[in-house]
A and B are shown apart, each in its own frame.
Chain A
Amino acid sequence: MSDIRTETMTVNMGPQHPSTHGVLNLVLQLDGENIVSAEPTIGFLHTGIEKTAEQKKWQQVIPLVERMDYLGAQSNSLAYCLSVERLLGIESQIPDRVVYIRVLIAELQRLASHLVWLGTHGMEIGAISVMMYCFREREQLLNLNEMLAGFRMFPSYIRIGGLREDLPRGFHAAVKEFLDKFPGKLEEYHKLLTKNQVWILRTKGVGYLSKEDTMAMGLAGPMARAVGIPYDVRKTFPYLKYQTFDFIVPTHTDGDVYARYLVKMEEMRQSVSICRQALERITPTGVYDCGDYRFVPPPKDRVYTEMEALIQHFLLYSQGFNVPKGECYVPVEGPRGEHGFYIVSDGTNRPLRVKARAPSYVACQALPKMINGGLIADVIAVIGSTDVVMGDVDR
């Protein structure tokens, strides 16, 4: 038998493959079913957002950055606004109500993002019904976004210095209804997957990454928590008064696809708890920005009746505002891990540099480490567990 000639085969997986999360291309070297080496090719979705942002005024960048990680849109705008606010020095002027609304939005966004992850991840390895269930719940979250800002995917509701407008009437009741229903749905997903023998066989022991490799590859987020590194930006470097919220950081030690699944499922439960706490602290009406009219537009009734307010409104929308010279990076815990914007200002009304710390980008880099030596069927399970969003990778 030893004289049988074998050779490896090169297979292009993607960029048009439905299971590669958009336009990821993996060049796989196969020896039969086993993967000898894998090389991710990215850049198919590169739209030059960082270059475009340099031409825009500070507040015009928000809709742009929301389109980077398009499944966790408001995590982008939150991170960007926090960085700009820190550089402006108005962080302490943000009222508590705004802070808690932002927390609520960030956690709802995490739920929406995790639901897409679970749905597509399940579908890719054969559990089609999970996708239907998850998108059913995500639809309700998108409806909440629509209620909030009239836009379902990219609401641009979080602004520099506050929020776009006050919460709409009926928002509390709508969120409460969702939060009451959701834990039951989460149980449904658990029933469908967690003890499902097929699911366990497809995910347990697959795509293992050691603790050292995880840290060396810069994976900070659910991937790190699945291998036993309890690092969560919300706990370690608190922002938005997360230290006043009661929640735990779920961790696991196996470091495989199943562990990542369990970590994210528990994160959803914690997010619901944080949402409940935040909702209790938010009054139905009240302040929704820092009230500093150098950075936020004056209320419309004043714009229509007062000369100064009209001038301020006009200045803000025609010239924007200047941000002091300097640089800033304030990370947040996005759905995919540490997520932040490094911004540089030269003291003018436009950013000199906007750079996203994209968790999907580093996760993509780590793919070969998890794939090599495994089976080709497991590639899809691994990609699903890393939860890469190509908009975030290519930017």
Chain B
Amino acid sequence: MPDSQIDTLVAEALRIAAPDARIEPATAVDMPTAYVDRDHLVEVCRLLRDAPALQFALLADVTAADFFPAEPRFEVVYHFACLGSAYVTVPGASPAPARRFRLKVRISGADASVPTVTGIYPTANWLERELYDLMGLRFEGHPDLRRILMAEDWVGHPLRKDYPVQIRKDSASWEPIQLSAEEFAENVRATRARAHKAAEKR
């Protein structure tokens, strides 16, 4: 089945199940894609997993792209996969055809927040934390929204386009070394001298 046909199938199924969700199909070369607004994201995700005709069991990835300085600035991207007969999410239902689907949410730079989907796909937990850490997106209702890859006291969100690529920044986690270069050299010299003296005595 060509991708465009599946595209309409998934978007159509979603439109019937959630008529007020404003699903907007988009074109992509690899898999059917659709936009949804963030108020309906959680509802649509639940449908994608639990509707017997869809059964997208696997949330493969949650990621985002920064289109700075354009507005709306961010696109949060969810990759789903239905595994066909390999995994059935609805007990007793017949397996849905194996296919992939991409859902995207546009959000503005001024209010960069999305509802979390950890309640439906627990795997989103760390994936959303990574986005919070590197992109600075807030996930409303996330159980544990902390930095994950960068240090806890890091300032800024490195994957944002307005974050400089090369940056020199002293880590604030430790006190700077309390020894000057001269003192260090002097210490080394004194240690050597002591060792020499001990060797001579022997």
Contact = CB atoms under 8 A, between A and B. Distances in A.
B179 interface: no
A54 to B, nearest CB: 8
Nearest to A342: B63
Interface stretch (B12-20, B81-89, B108-116): B81-89
A46 B67 CA distance: 23
Nearest to A52: B165
Interface in B36-86: 57-61, 63, 65-67, 77, 79, 81, 83-84, 86
Interface residues of A, number: 44
Contacts of A231: 58, 83, 86-87
A353 interface: yes
B98 interface: yes
A326 B29 contact: yes
Given A218-B58, A218-B60, A230-B86, A329 B65 contact: no
10 contacts: A43-B149, A43-B150, A52-B165, A86-B29, A216-B123, A218-B123, A237-B98, A327-B77, A329-B102, A342-B79
Nearest to A364: B126
Contacts of B143: none
Contacts of A46: 149-150
A355 B123 CA distance: 17
Q: 9 closest Cβ contacts across the A-B interface? A: A218-B123, A43-B149, A231-B86, A353-B65, A355-B63, A365-B126, A46-B149, A357-B61, A216-B122
A236 interface: yes
Given A229-B87, A329-B79, A55 B123 contact: no
A227 to B, nearest CB: 10
B87 A344 contact: no
B145 interface: no
Contacts of A346: 67
Contacts of A340: 60-61
A148 interface: no
B89 to A, nearest CB: 8
A393 B31 CA distance: 26
Contacts of B147: 43
B86 A328 contact: no
B6 to A, nearest CB: 12
Contact of B123 (A327, A328, A329, A365): A365
A347 interface: no
B183 interface: no
Interface string A30-50: 000000000000110010101
B100 A216 contact: no
B90 interface: no
Nearest to B129: A365
A329 B159 CA distance: 19
A331 B89 CA distance: 22
B8 interface: no
A361 interface: yes
B28 interface: yes
Interface string A322-366: 000011111100000010101010100000110101000110110
A394 interface: yes
Contacts of A217: 122-123
A87 B123 contact: no
Interface in B5-34: 28-31, 33
A103 B106 CA distance: 37
Contacts of B125: 365
Nearest to A87: B29
Contact of A43 (B60, B81, B151, B159): B151
Given A43-B150, A218-B123, A50 B159 contact: yes
Contacts of A329: 30-31, 61, 79, 102
A237 B77 CA distance: 20
